[in-house]
Structure 1
């Protein structure tokens, strides 16, 4: 499969025609799957008001991040030369640097942290929940998630440039000590600390729910009672979110660890290795699996998917079995 070449003397960016590698083919498959799946999540949220719960605000923000990731990982032609000027400079700083990719990745993990905290207060401190998690504050938190992700990556715009002597995009090298410090900082702030926090919080939630179930059963409560049905619905929601966290961790951990080793000078050929290609492919896979998880495990969102293609979308029935409202 070859990429289209439309180069002329007037083009600021000239590209080369090359067959796609196996990595690029897989990236394209993941990209198309992610674009379709995450677009469905966003469309269902926008179309059906019953899906606009507090929790789903964070999930839609996560779907938006995954959608951006899916778009950015679409393989692009390889530039052979980039003419000096504004267009070439913008290309190197925004496109070649994958700036939006890194912003969306960090937004993904911060959205996961936000929804974890939201679920913790909803289930462990319901009395405080309504005071802390209003719709207005939720939208503010979502906005802050994206601002924080943007600020953590804005330096990328300044370390990538169009080199006049080679007419190629290049990274402006900094001293190795800065790269090592940033590598450690990046792993702690955007991966290790968030993932550890989420695992600890979900563990506490699971223990609390198990204890609640034991108390209800000890009181000889019927297994079909409203209390146990509500508890089971809550457990299903939490298990779904925990599964999303675990898949995110599994997909990104290998690349994050190897990047840390690269930053510290222990894996200097990481980016040129097949290991890098494999781990990057694993990471990109994460951007397309979440909509599948939602569809399989959440009846409300699954109903939303179906209703988008129904002739009469207004007739869609959203029951309360798995709706992610504060008390579910």
Structure 2
């Protein structure tokens, strides 16, 4: 458990810092303030909560704390379910937003406004919290005599498998994969059509082709976010299925610990994916680090000229328009 705790603390740090960076990037760069990125910020906030709240709670419950306090124990065990469910809903609304952008482009500006995005985000968080609080509403095991707060002794596996996994995780994942499959088929057809008409319409078709390439790149990045989420979380849910459907089947401790670390690690990977695949995010991250370096250099030496809007690099970074 010491190795598990150390690994989880590293993940918590990376998740908190990396996703804070995503939020700051969208905040300082106007070109990143799109409806899609608002949903990604909501996803980043969920991952920050995983790093700052859920992982510390997981470390405490791994050693059986708190003792003799069932409802506090259930709350600490439920927070990860809440934030994970919020992440799933964020991924789902991103997939729906991309579907609307490609299949209903003329209605996109009406449907996908900033106000509607905020309302959808609030609704997803509310629903995620209600799903996560179900164990506190009574769907849990009887408290163990020892009073220790261990996940398998307190949380009912019928809730985790039938309600949480099959209904609230697997069903949205299947819907999202079907949406992205339709998107990629549609984009492929459009690319072929544009290519066949390329010689006839010149500049207009070139612009359409460039726009379609941007859509493909965006959809590919968002699909990778979904794919990584699935890869990270499915192993733990499969283990939960074994614990419920085959209670006498041995589950190696090493396998269980690996699945737990993998599920938590998902909260830390998205900022790296954005930096690798999205030029606007990558450039904004670089600008943020450059500002930090300038501040450190300025504190170490007073040889800089007075701060002006025209010449101060820190001002340039914070008002960056990429």
Is TM-score (shorter-chain normalized) higher than 0.5? yes
Does 2:35 align with 1:54?
yes
What SS does the aligned partner of 1:73 have?
helix
Task: Give the corresponding residue for 1:294.
Answer: 274
Aligned residue-pair number = 291
Task: Give the corresponding residue for 2:229.
Answer: 248
Q: Distance in 2 between matches of 1:172 and 1:202?
A: 35
What SS does the aligned partner of 1:317 have?
coil
Q: Which of 104, 107, 119 is the matching residue for 1:140?
A: 119
Q: Distance in 2 between matches of 1:172 and 1:25?
A: 22
Q: Bigger shift: 214-223 or 276-285?
A: 214-223
Asked if 1 retains the 8 angstrom alpha-carbon contact of 2:28 and 2:319, the reply is no
- CA distance 1:151–1:267, shift in 2 (3 Å): farther
Q: Which of 199, 214, 227 is the matching residue for 2:192?
A: 214
Q: Bigger shift: 186-195 or 235-244?
A: 186-195
Does 2:86 align with 1:107?
yes
The CA deviation at 1:285 is: 1.3
Task: Give the corresponding residue for 1:230.
Answer: 211
**TM-score using structure 1 length:** 0.78
Asked if 2 retains the 8 angstrom alpha-carbon contact of 1:34 and 1:67, the reply is yes
Q: Which of 249, 265, 273 is the matching residue for 2:253?
A: 273
The CA deviation at 1:64 is: 0.7
The CA deviation at 1:208 is: 0.9
The CA deviation at 1:191 is: 2.0
Q: Distance in 1 between matches of 2:212 and 2:61?
A: 52
The CA deviation at 1:161 is: 10
Does 2:295 align with 1:307?
no
Q: Which of 42, 52, 73 is the matching residue for 2:55?
A: 73
The CA deviation at 1:77 is: 8.8
What SS does the aligned partner of 1:316 have?
coil
The CA deviation at 1:150 is: 0.6
- CA distance 1:42–1:117, shift in 2 (3 Å): same
Task: Give the corresponding residue for 1:6.
Answer: none
List per-residue Cα deviations over 1:172-218 (Å, max 9, x = no partner): 979x9x74365222222222111111111111111111111111111
Task: Give the corresponding residue for 2:9.
Answer: 28
Structure 1 spans left out of the alignment, 5+ residues: 1-19, 319-328
Asked if 1 retains the 8 angstrom alpha-carbon contact of 2:31 and 2:321, the reply is no
Q: Which has the higher helix share?
A: 2
The CA deviation at 1:281 is: 1.1
**TM-score using structure 2 length:** 0.80
Asked if 2 retains the 8 angstrom alpha-carbon contact of 1:37 and 1:288, the reply is yes
The CA deviation at 1:73 is: 1.3
The CA deviation at 1:31 is: 1.3
- CA distance 1:313–1:62, shift in 2 (3 Å): same
Q: Distance in 2 between matches of 1:106 and 1:81?
A: 24
Q: Bigger shift: 146-155 or 164-173?
A: 164-173
What SS does the aligned partner of 2:198 have?
coil
Q: Which has the higher strand share?
A: 1
